[in-house]
Amino acid sequence: MPNAGPYVAGCLFCEIAAGERPAHVVFSDEVVAAFLDARPVFKGHVLVVPHGHVETLTDLPVEVVGPYFERVQAVARAVEEGMEAAGTFVAMNNRVSQSVPHLHTHVVPRNRKDGLRGFFWPRMKYADDVEAAEIADRIRAALKKSTS
């Protein structure tokens, strides 16, 4: 299975995907790394990034597009199940509003009347590392269940 290419030194998401920087990883294989957003819109907000440095969707090699989105789909299913959410919001920015210049897809758990309006994304924090680890475990377990 192809990946997107080499990592770039100094890129936060390359460092997380390579295991060089700590994160609450919920899934990783040869195509993607998926981990909790450190500043989630809602708890359980996961970022899916390709292995190898790619800045935008248009830079993602065509042979990786399908496998990448298969993983995004699996993560969306797992976030919904693991967080007992009614659904998910899946989004991607290309350059504008892209806080880290590495392709990443947001998978955000959603429930009716959760307060999210349009594209206003209020951010929250996990109470502590223990809470983040517990939530990552829930999503990881749902991913294992759906892929086995």
Q: So what's the pLDDT on residue 115?
A: 83
Global pTM value: 0.85
- pLDDT by residue (tens digit) across 79-114? 999 999 999 999 999 888 888 999 999 999 999 998
Q: Which of 119, 113, 34, 15 is nearest to 73 (CA)?
A: 34
Q: So what's the pLDDT on residue 141?
A: 92
Q: Say whether pLDDT at 119 is over 80.
A: no
How much is the average pLDDT of 24-47?
Answer: 96
Q: So what's the pLDDT on residue 1?
A: 53
Q: Which of 91, 79, 93 is nearest to 142 (CA)?
A: 79
Q: Which residues are catalytic?
A: 104
